[in-house]
Amino acid sequence: MKKLTSTLVLFCIMNLTQAQNPFLGKYTTPHGTAPFDKIKTEHFEPALQEGMKKQMAEIYAIVNNPEAPSFKNTIVALDKSGALLNRVQSVFSNLLSAETNDDLQGVAEKMMPLLTEHGNNISLNRKLFERVKAVYSQINKLKLSKEENRLLQKTYDSFVRNGANLEGEAKVKYRALTSELSKLTLQYGQNILKETNNYELAITDKAKLTGLPESVLEAAALTAKEKGKEGWVFTLNAPSYIPFMTYCENRDLRKELYTAYNTQCTHDNEYNNFENVKKLANIRLEIAQLLGYNNYAAYTLEERMAENSNAVYKLLNQLVDAYKPTAEKELKDVQDLAIQTQGPDFQIMPWDWGFYSNKLKDQRFNINDEMLRPYFELSKVKEGIFGLATRLYGITFKKNNEIPVYNPDVDAYEVFDKDGKYLAVLYTDFHPRAGKRAGAWMTEFKGQWKDNGKDSRPHVSLVMNFTKPTENKPALLTFNEVETFLHEFGHSLHGMFANSTYESLSGTNVYWDFVELPSQIMENFAIEKEFLNTFAKHYQTGEELPQELIQRIVNASNFNVGYACLRQVSFGLLDMAWYTRNAPFDGNVIAYEKEAMTKTQLLPVMDNGCMSVQFSHIFAGGYSAGYYSYKWAEVLDADAFSLFKQKGIFNKEVATSFRENILSKGGTEHPMKLYKRFRGQEPTIDALLIRNGIKE
């Protein structure tokens, strides 16, 4: 046998390593889904490095193409570049949110600055931008389709908005700022996850837990068992925290848990986020001003339906004026109820609101979560929501155990269109665990695009943190969790119905204040009798949800609607306060936050509580200067659903129009054009006010 040279040995080792890395070969899984059964943490770094290397080779080929710049050889070639990197990054970033651990976070800390630098190397490539600009200069002469025109405009704008026109020191500064931003957003989010996971309220005396329903106690006992403890353990995860604050009669314990929740990342430890908040706000401001904008909101809103901060504040102030009198009346009603049992000097505090407002709701409507929970068994809710999509759009779902998943909790479904053709893969991930951040979201492991006549379909994921099954009962959801499921499922429909040529314009790649329309419109079905009748059955007896209870759900649907609206508006105002600043911030975060939210505050504010240090949406989640989007889209969804109400909530003609004009179009046209094509008119706030009972 010949002796191998050291170079050949190294070459063989590298080839063997690449062959063993599942990202670097062809996926043999159903529909080319991610091979989670083979992916290990150590695969990410080399795969990301290889992805960056391949994309830079593709960029080099575009830049050095001897042919004159054209839409195809520059804009389309750029849009298609980075396929491997996108494939790896989609898995990597999604697992960081849904299935993270210290090792994966270590990879992220190392790779995020490199990935940011890679992105900068593309957006700041002078020769590449010159080619893009050469094509863009002909935009009015080229015979492009609407989608092609949109891609060209978006590509050019993206370069400009990512520093392509910067020179010299400004370009160096931009690179440094974006690199620091990627590190800080990662650190900010990790701090919240660790603070959440590190807290527990352990109780061994059941007498302290008076008022808590048996289902909540069972869940807390299961948590204690999983942690190797006696008694009951409550955490800051929503399925534990919310029922505790709603039902626990022990006011001191409610205050303790509320304080723990609202002081996350404020403590004198390594997870404190005060400095991160300042740095994140200031870096975004500096980036915006470097690019020629007064503040970060001006930069962000340029690509939103709202267009500018004046329009955002106009909406938020309209909502405050419309809803505050109702909210103040709601607070007085809850306060009066509390006084009946606690005496005339009792004052409602934030940790009392959930408890006493629930008592008032029960008194008025004789309805609460525990009364409804037995009828909302998770598998039945899933059948109902999947069935709703079947009834509206004709699509069907088939579980496929051959599709690998990243956690045993996750299920994978093949989704088929009304003609039987494969439409998408849908992953569902319902329950909290240590490696998953709080909240609920829809994301993608693969987008949709068309190439050479082939329609490459998306792989969509629904991630939530619902009430877990216990040793004695299946997962029984609260009504709010049913609404959350509907909301995120609406996002998934937006992704699954994607029908664009270019991935960057496909599915949910739309303006942030439009992306919530497909999700929020689905929430409307939660109080529709015809929908509830299709699935809401008692998990033990099979008895259908009584019509009387359904009517109570409908009657209670606007309970405390004013308070809920002001709460959302307060978050929008806080977001805008951070990002309409024209000067750097170096003050007291808590004091600044209180001032920003003053006009919406109804209850006394806890001295040391702070939202900003745990407000992932606006500091680490893409909603910077965009949290108003939820209320903006609520105006849209109320107006849009009024058409379903007018024609019938299962009306196929309306559903088909919504699919064709909203869900399938992605970002191929301006959202207001798409909305008007569906609705026949621009939206007004009136439908929302009527739906909420604020206006007749």
Residue with tokens 């699509």: 395
Which amino acid is located at 141 in the chain? Answer: K
Question: Left if phi > 0, otherwise alpha if psi is -120 to 50, otherwise beta: which for 335?
Answer: alpha
Q: Which candidate in 195, 330, 414, 488 is catalytic?
A: 488
Active site residue 169: no
The residue count of the chain comes to: 696
Measured between alpha carbons, how far is residue 67 from residues 62, 82, 203 in Å?
10, 22, 73
At residue 425, φ and ψ (nearest 5 deg) are -110, 135
Q: CB neighbours (10 Å) of residue 30?
A: 14
Task: Give dist(CA 90, CA 93) in Å, integer.
Answer: 6
Q: Which residues contact 674 (CB under 8 A, 6 or more apart)?
A: 661, 662, 665
Question: Which token pair is 420?
Answer: 């039987």
If you write DSSP's letter for every residue of 213-282 in order, what string do you get? -HHHHHHHHHHHHHTT-SSEEE-SSHHHHHHHHHH---HHHHHHHHHHHHTTT-SSSTT--HHHHHHHHH
Structure tokens at 397: 């779902």
Rounded CA separation 554/37 (Å): 45
Strand 441-446 and strand 201-203: the pairing is unpaired
- Tokens standing for residue 396: 């069907």
* Torsion over CA: 685, 691, 694, 696 (sign): positive
Is 674 in contact with 658 (CB distance < 8 Å)? Answer: no
Q: How far is CA 48 from CA 21, 90, 114, 151, in A?
A: 11, 11, 10, 26
Distance CA(502)–CA(147), nearest Å, equals: 8
Distances (CA, A) of 76 to 71, 147, 350, 451, 502: 6, 12, 53, 11, 8
**Which candidate, 211, 261, 247, places its Cα nearest to that of 354?**
247
Which tokens belong to 457?
Answer: 């379909």
- The span from the CA of 241 to the CA of 196, in Å, is 11
Contact 203, 209 (CB under 8 A): yes
User: Cα–Cα distances in Å, from 228 out to 221, 223, 225, 435, 568?
Assistant: 10, 9, 5, 18, 38
Task: Give start and end residues of each alpha helix (H) in 124-167.
Answer: 126-136, 146-161
Report CA-CA distances (Å) from 330 to 87, 363, 602. Answer: 49, 14, 10
- And the tokens for 311? 């329009």
Q: Residue type for 49, please?
A: Q
- State the Cα–Cα distance between residues 91 and 450, nearest whole angstrom: 21
Report the distance separating Cα 456 and Cα 309, nearest Å. 38
DSSP calls for 338-389 = HHHHH-TT----HHHHHHHHHHHHHHHHS--HHHHGGG-BHHHHHHHHHHHH
Q: In 511-602, which ranges are E strands?
A: none
CA pair distance 90, 371, nearest whole angstrom: 40
- Phi, psi (5° rounding) for residue 466? -90, 165
Q: Which pair of tokens denotes residue 230?
A: 């006696």
Q: Which residues are catalytic, by number?
A: 488
